[in-house]
Amino acid sequence: MTKPSPKLSPEAAALLELRGMGALADKMGFELLELSAERSVATMPVEGNTQPLGYVHGGAYVVLAESLGSFSANVWAHTLGKVAVGIEVNASHSRSATEGTVTATCKALQLGRSLTIHEIVCVDDQDRRLSTIRITNFLKDKQ
């Protein structure tokens, strides 16, 4: 059975082709389902991303969310001839998964000329909120 292709905006497809998702995303098993500046979705398996008690490590939620928020911010930055770099991230963990898949949905709160703000919500297979993360990216000129 073949996996469906991710839903990508034209800008996202070009950027993903240029940069890829990165070694950490590959190592953690991220699967990109949708990518645009405004909305992105990715999944991560629970297996392999847990802390010693068997729960998803809080840092794994943050890595998933920060990656997705940064990917989205860079899609926006690319349209402006800039690059996005993270300057702030915060997370509130409300529940933890012990099996299955974590799905992260990223939505743009602000797409500006110098800053972007994205909110990422991670849920489990039963659509229960696990973590809420916000990331701010600074848009700087390409060097």
Report, as residue numbers or ranges, the catalytic residues.
66
Q: What is the SS3 string spanning the chain?
A: CCCCCCEECHHHHHHHHHHCCCHHHHHHCCEEEEECCCEEEEEEECCCCECCCCCECHHHHHHHHHHHHHHHHHHHHHHCCEEEEEEEEEEEECCCCCCCEEEEEEEEEEECCCEEEEEEEEECCCCCEEEEEEEEEEEEECC
Which long-range contacts link 50-54 to residues 24+ away (Cβ below 8 Å)? 50/98, 54/98
Best CA proximity match to 89, nearest among 143, 133, 139, 45: 133
